[in-house]
Structures are given as C-alpha cells and as structure tokens.
A and B are shown apart, each in its own frame.
Chain A
C-alpha cells in the first residue's frame, strides 16, 4: 500500500501493516524512533498496536546532535 512517510510517498510491501512492521522494514526495530501517525505522536506501546492503512501520513523521527 502507499503511505506518506516524512512527506514522501512510499510504496510498502504487503506484509507491512503495523508500525512495528514498518520499523522492521527499515531495520529500525532496535533503535529509538519517534513516530507521528496521522498527526498523533505514538508512545512505544502504541506503536506496537497501531495499524497502517493506505494514505496514512507518518513521520519517522530520531534524536540528532543539537544544542
């Protein structure tokens, strides 16, 4: 299905239907990733329970160096 991630449209493989699987798809399952799903910031528990549907707007964010 097609979703928008970080303002870019991406086609996801059929088996990716949850945020948890989305993270695994990008190899980000063992690192701190902050997720906004359709405008809502998801806690780690919520990420594991949240399903993705076509057209979803997702932000995948991490901490970077800064002052």
Chain B
C-alpha cells in the first residue's frame, strides 16, 4: 500500500489528466490504469466560452484529486493556486510545481522549497515536484514534505530515467515516499523506477500522447506492478563475469 500523509492508496500509479485526444479515451485510459490519484491544473474559466467541466467526467468518489500549481513562477503564485484548489473542498493534497526554465520545465528549487514550507505550515499535504538532485530532495523532506517527486527527466520528454545514479541516491536517503514524476516514456521506464525502490510513479504524457492511450495505461499499470514485485523479490546483483546456471561438466565429448 502507498501511504502519503493521511492517505493510503492501493495503486502506485498516479495519473495526469492533460492532453488526451478526447474525453472518452481519457475515461477509458483512467479506468485501464486502475489509478487512485488524478492530477489536475487550475485555470481561469473562460466565461464567454464555458464548455464542459473536466471534473464532471469523473466519478469523484473513485479518485483522490491531486491539483498542481502549474503556471506558478514564484512561491507566492504557487501558494495562491494551492489555496484556491483547497477552497474547492474536494482535496487538500497539492503538487507544488514551480517551473524555472520553460524549455526544460525544470523546477525552480528555491521557489519550490519556499512554497513547500508555506503550504506545510498551512496544513496542506504537500508533494513537491523536484529535479533529481539528492540535496534538494533531502531539503524538501527536512521541511516536512509528505512525499518527494523527483523527475526522471523533463516533463513530457519521454526520456525515461536520465540519471539512475541520482535517482537511486534519492530513494536510498529518503524517509518519505518517493514518487518518480516526469519524463517517463515507455513502460520499462516506470518498471525501472519501481525496481530502484521508488514508491510510485506519476506520469501523464506517456499515456495521454501514446498512440493507444488505453493500452498504454494498462501497460504502465502492469509495469509498475512488475517493478514493485521485482524490488520486493530482491534482484541479483549485476556483475562483470558469468555465473553458470547449468552444470558445466563436459561429459558429452567422445
């Protein structure tokens, strides 16, 4: 079971809701993923063109909502968004996402930690999105973050885990759940994260922009389960030379 603050989830896949081809595919993909947590952004309502409400598509009782502070460039903006999200009355978890660099969408570490500190003091369940910097992860944990979310690689890049060494360091040092968030491309990336000992994976584009999002959602669900089982099973170490699995006695020579 995945425990974050006061919340417990059976699924270790957290799913984003952005950039699906249409609402029907999104609904089917969400179902195939068997996720318990869906992320959302906040946006001003276009009052001249209101349109359908994405939240209405869901059966809210089946999911925990994890809003993010996408769009915030400073801690102050992130806090403003978080307070708005919580005022809805339907969630008190918040993903702190404060982006510092548009081309890479890498988080601004200073503003992220500032926002994390403020929101923790206000009683939020805080999950900061971080780069894969072990010291940054440690600082976020020391502030009291309920989980830490290091990126595998830039958001939407599909690059998978570009720095396994750092990610493993983060997981090794962490005393709070580690959710690998951002950059997952293929199921093996999600499995890899879980094999390293991550507690969960958050992904969006890997599913929503796949050719077949519904099939990919199922693949990711299975990959995360496989990676977790593999981690629990305890893998063999990697070594330079062979260790025979069959008897090597050469008795067949005449």
Contacts and interface: CB of A to CB of B under 8 A. Distances in A.
A31 B39 CA distance: 18
A32 B44 contact: no
Of all A-B residue pairs in the complex, the 7 with the closest CB atoms, nearest first, are A66-B41, A67-B16, A67-B204, A41-B87, A63-B40, A65-B18, A65-B17
B90 A32 contact: yes
Nearest to A66: B41
Interface in A1-60: 5-7, 10, 26-28, 31-36, 41-44, 46, 59-60
Interface of A: 5-7, 10, 26-28, 31-36, 41-44, 46, 59-67
B39 A34 contact: no
A44 B155 contact: no
A44 B186 CA distance: 41
A5 B204 CA distance: 31
A31 B18 contact: no
B54 interface: yes
A42 B83 CA distance: 9
Interface of B: 16-20, 26, 39-45, 47, 50, 53-56, 65, 67-68, 70, 80, 83-90, 155-156, 182, 202-205
B53 A35 contact: no
Given A28-B50, A59-B84, A67 B202 contact: yes
Contacts of B205: 67
Contact of B70 (A26, A28, A35, A66): A66
B40 A64 contact: yes
B18 to A, nearest CB: 4
Given A5-B47, A26-B50, A31-B56, A64 B42 contact: yes
A14 to B, nearest CB: 19
Most buried by B among A46, A59, A62: A62
